[in-house]
Structure 1
């Protein structure tokens, strides 16, 4: 990813994912902190445009966010990312998940995000009580309880649970996650649901590392989840761009087709060296170069 950031202009990948003139979600949220006349109204308009753009592309429709926003991180980049991505996922998702978020907690329950505007909704997110660890079994059970109460079909179930935090996965889970997941598969199956939502645990802290698949051998034919470590604007742009057709994104970008990237398949997301070089050399500014041996 460092090589990708260096070789491809950041605005290029951002514009392909969002469109010219739009800001990244955490940049919009950060602008609310500016003590400038009209800053809140401008941020509100930018947020609505961003949500509409992604909604038109039908991105992040079936997902739920779990957000870690402790007081100790107030005002930090990580807090801005957690808040903005939690809000974005809740705005883009469909009912009954729309407008709701899980806190990073020992006793997580789905919170309906309150507020009349972007600033008040961000403040609501900041005031949600978070803990050092999260109980994934209660999140799985909470989703299942809502699904059975609302009599949702398999198609209406959330496909992914995105966790935005700055903690390491093995230290953040209150229980043995493998046992929680196995129990969830049994419970969902009993109630007629074909799958448990995939878990994408995004540890925003530290440098970008190779994604780690989790639970691949826990239950046959189940895509349990993945751990993502690190953060960059490019990675966030690609994440927001979509959920399907993973493949090698470098080849897609080189051909000018960014159809979407499944974050849960990020083991295929990292390009090979030759893909990155082809991508980089396909830039317009380099087309007139000659190679002399």
Structure 2
């Protein structure tokens, strides 16, 4: 019955048919591209598309038939003589099964493939080892955008490639500084072991993005600083002389539990701005909160009562105005729940979205921290300087 309803809507609604075809085209094109990358062992270049393609027996598939449509486009009838002599139902069954066995399962296994430590992708270490061993005389050609921030952070303390990870990090930061992006942002990093656990090693994501924003931020008040995710947040100047020690500093920040007092976050920012005698144009523009806790829980306070963000934000604006900062100087909160896909939504002074993948991170960095359904739709692949030469 579900399949019948989908077919009837597809045949009777041109707009729905157009949308269905474009979505299945995107899935098919990306999965074919990822399969080619897998064949070349470019595992760190594979997108997370395979995670989100509807599985054969899922409720999503019964409601959309997207999996079948994608399978038909990857394995059309004319691609094999055996498909041309079987019934339509048999053909659909075979290509769905083939999509699962030959495309989705291998790609998902590749994305989930970890080294002996169980936490870090082998492809990342292989890349760092290749950089380390591939250039004699201490001169390294490093692709600034080759690795994700969390990939680099995950190997900062590695005995074999820690020094190369440091060089990779410097090249990446240098590339973004040349672009002049994300230089007016501040990060709130959740590094509590209870909320940031997971196979994707979300703590490395939080630490990596927090450190990146801190190093791209500008003086006099924001450079090198991050805020801890807590009911009593603190504005920290990140200590340490190298990437390893900086990562350790951020990981040791006191992040108690799964709640945060955003009022106090704004108080910290306002206090620093007043103390530094900052003009409105020097105020940090965006505050990114990196966590695995959903906004409603994190912002509920000690008594677990639901907070009204609109009222909170009015009070925050009032505080800024009392100190001489008009509404356009009040930073926007960008709340990023890393471990779960969340439909981007906006409230006054607040943007909420979720999920983590290489593509989403590139979108975030390419658009100077702007992420919305519109940006996702219009996004083009970013371009960092291809190679930056660094003397080891």
TM-score (normalised: structure 1): 0.75
Q: Given that residues 5 and 234 in structure 1 are in contact (C-alpha distance below 8 angstroms), is that contact kept between their aligned partners in structure 2?
A: no
1:116 counterpart SS class: coil
Structure-to-structure mapping, 1:40-189, within 5 angstroms:
40-72=162-194, 73=196, 77-95=201-219, 96-131=221-256, 132-175=258-301, 176=307, 177-189=309-321
1:94 counterpart SS class: coil
Q: For 1:60 and 1:11, how far apart are their aligned partners in 2?
A: 23
Query: Could you give the per-residue CA deviations for residues 226-273 of structure 1, whole angstroms, max 9, x where no partner exists?
Result: 111111111001111232xxxxxxxxxxxxxxxxx623xx142232xx
Q: For 1:57 and 1:229, how far apart are their aligned partners in 2?
A: 25
- Higher RCO structure, 1 or 2 (CA under 8 Å, sep 6+): 1
Partner of 2:374: 268
Per residue, is there more helix in 1 or in 2?
A: 2
| 1:197 lines up with 2:331 in the alignment | yes
Query: Could you give the per-residue CA deviations for residues 24-68 of structure 1, whole angstroms, max 9, x where no partner exists?
Result: 1111111225442xx121011101000010010001000110000
- Structure whose alpha-carbon radius of gyration is higher: 2
Tell me, which stretches of 5 or more residues in structure 1 are unaligned?
A: 216-223, 244-260, 280-293
Q: CA deviation at 1:179?
A: 2.8
Q: For 1:33 and 1:119, how far apart are their aligned partners in 2?
A: 6
CA-atom RMSD, angstroms?
2.8
Query: Could you give the per-residue CA deviations for residues 101-125 of structure 1, whole angstroms, max 9, x where no partner exists?
Result: 1000111120111111100110111
Aligned residues: 241
Q: For 1:159 and 1:115, how far apart are their aligned partners in 2?
A: 26
Q: For 2:239 and 2:177, how far apart are their aligned partners in 1?
A: 21
| 1:210 lines up with 2:347 in the alignment | no
Query: Could you give the per-residue CA deviations for residues 125-175 of structure 1, whole angstroms, max 9, x where no partner exists?
Result: 111110220000001111111111111111100110000000100001144
Q: Given that residues 136 and 174 in structure 1 are in contact (C-alpha distance below 8 angstroms), is that contact kept between their aligned partners in structure 2?
A: no
Q: Given that residues 213 and 267 in structure 1 are in contact (C-alpha distance below 8 angstroms), is that contact kept between their aligned partners in structure 2?
A: no
Q: Given that residues 145 and 172 in structure 2 are in contact (C-alpha distance below 8 angstroms), is that contact kept between their aligned partners in structure 1?
A: no
Q: Given that residues 70 and 130 in structure 1 are in contact (C-alpha distance below 8 angstroms), is that contact kept between their aligned partners in structure 2?
A: yes
Query: Could you give the per-residue CA deviations for residues 196-237 of structure 1, whole angstroms, max 9, x where no partner exists?
Result: 10110000012x33201123xxxxxxxx12111111111001
